[in-house]
Structure 1
Amino acid sequence: MVFKRRDRRPIWKAVLEAFWPKGGWGRAALYVRHRLHRLPDPPHTIARGIFAGVFTTFTPFYGLHFIIAGLLALVMRGNVLAAMLATFFGNPLTYVPIGVIAMQSGYWLLGLDGGDNPRFHHGLGEKFVKAGQDLWHNVRALFTDDVAHWSELRVFYDEVFFPYLIGGIIPGLIAGIACYYISLPLISAYQNRRKGLLKQKLAALKKKKADTRSGAE
């Protein structure tokens, strides 16, 4: 394969680099910014893509952020690649605060609280574990005589997934709009500067050719 790595990384190294890429997150951020600046579309199209990518990171659809951001960018007539690159806004360093903000907003908007329901006293990690156990049990039930269990998956949906989905809308919009208006003038300035440099190079090249012709005559 053309894009296959020549040096196969051990699994532990691949996992480690997923949380801390080679060169650090600062270098990764500079790379993303460089790629965004060099996209050929108009600034407002790229900025719409950035909005789509940032907004998507506030949704609970982990593993599908690239796809959702790209589809949202298509609907908004934004740059799809910019949307995918902007999902970098959600990374192992920011997913925890994003999740906390989305969950707290969702509980507030839906009017949920702990109350006397003992399920709300289960930790978030425990809800993930129990939902995973239910899911695995139900997969096995397809091939055995066991009865499928949906109670813990229902708890996970009601108390984690749905509050996260609803609660991420407002902070996602705020973060997306902020990144849109921050990136728009930066991309415009970069593209204008690049156009100016290209014009200078073309002018210098034309002058060099003209001098060469006059010297030959």
Structure 2
Amino acid sequence: MVFKRRDRRPAWKVVSDFFWPKGGWTRAFHYVKHRLRRLPDPPHRIARGIFAGIFVTYSPFFGMHFVAAILVAWILRGNIVAALLATFFGNPVTFVPIAAISLQTGYFLLGKHISQNSDVHHSLGEAFVGAGRDLKENLFALFTDANADWTDLHIFYDEVFFPYMIGGIIPGLITGLIGYYVSLPLIQAYQNRRKGAIKAKWEAMKEKAAAKADAKKNPD
């Protein structure tokens, strides 16, 4: 195939690039920032898209953040490309604190308590593993004589998914609004400066063309 990689990356390299992209997270951040500033849309629409992208990263719908960002941006009449780029806010570096904040907020709102000695990251990983195991084993149970057991999936929903979903709303709104109000004036300033540079360049071209025309009319 024309676009197929000639050198297939090993599994460890795929995982490594996911957690640490080529060029590092700083380069990736500057790439996203550059793309956001150059989007051909009014600043308020781009800023709404940024809000949407940041907001959905606080949801437990992993693997569907792009879809959720598109939906929220469409509802808010924001820029969809900006929303997709802003989901970069949720990455392997930030997912652990995002999950911890969302879970703790959810437990507080629901009146539940997290043990002082519990490891949120460890508990979250165990819950995901248990839910995945339930889904796999119960899928096989459909075609065998084994009994379906949804215990781990039920625990995952009660202790992780639902508190995460409820708890992510408030910090998601706060962080999204910060992203909106920080990005809006920056995008406005960049677009105004870019329009000014384009106008100045156009005026210089017109003056140069006029000078050439005058030189042809009045040769020495």
State whether structure 2 residue 132 is matched by structure 1 residue 132.
Answer: yes
Amino acid at match of 1:22: K
Amino acid at match of 1:91: N
Alpha-carbon shift at residue 6 of structure 1 (Å): 4.8
Q: Which moved more, 1:2-11 or 1:48-57?
A: 2-11
Residue number in structure 2 paired with 1:119: none
Residue number in structure 2 paired with 1:118: none
Alpha-carbon shift at residue 10 of structure 1 (Å): 2.4
- Aligned residues: percent identity? 64
Residue number in structure 1 paired with 2:163: 163
Where do residues 1-217 of structure 1 align in structure 2 (5 Å cutoff)? 4-113=4-113, 123-217=123-217
CA deviations over 1:101-138 (Å, ceiling 9, x no partner): 000000000011269xxxxxx93332222222211111
State the SS of the aligned residue for 1:113. coil
Alpha-carbon spacing, 1:7–1:188, altered in 2? closer, same or farther (3 Å): farther
Alpha-carbon spacing, 1:21–1:113, altered in 2? closer, same or farther (3 Å): same
CA–CA distance in structure 1, aligned partners of residues 4 and 191 of structure 2: 33
Note the residue ranges of structure 1 that are not aligned, 5 or more in a row: 116-121
Note the residue ranges of structure 2 that are not aligned, 5 or more in a row: 116-121
The two structures have a TM-score, normalised by structure 2, of 0.91
The two structures have a TM-score, normalised by structure 1, of 0.93
State the SS of the aligned residue for 2:8. coil
CA–CA distance in structure 1, aligned partners of residues 181 and 67 of structure 2: 24
The count of residues paired between Structure 1 and Structure 2 equals 212
State the SS of the aligned residue for 1:123. helix
Alpha-carbon spacing, 1:194–1:28, altered in 2? closer, same or farther (3 Å): same
Alpha-carbon spacing, 1:191–1:97, altered in 2? closer, same or farther (3 Å): same
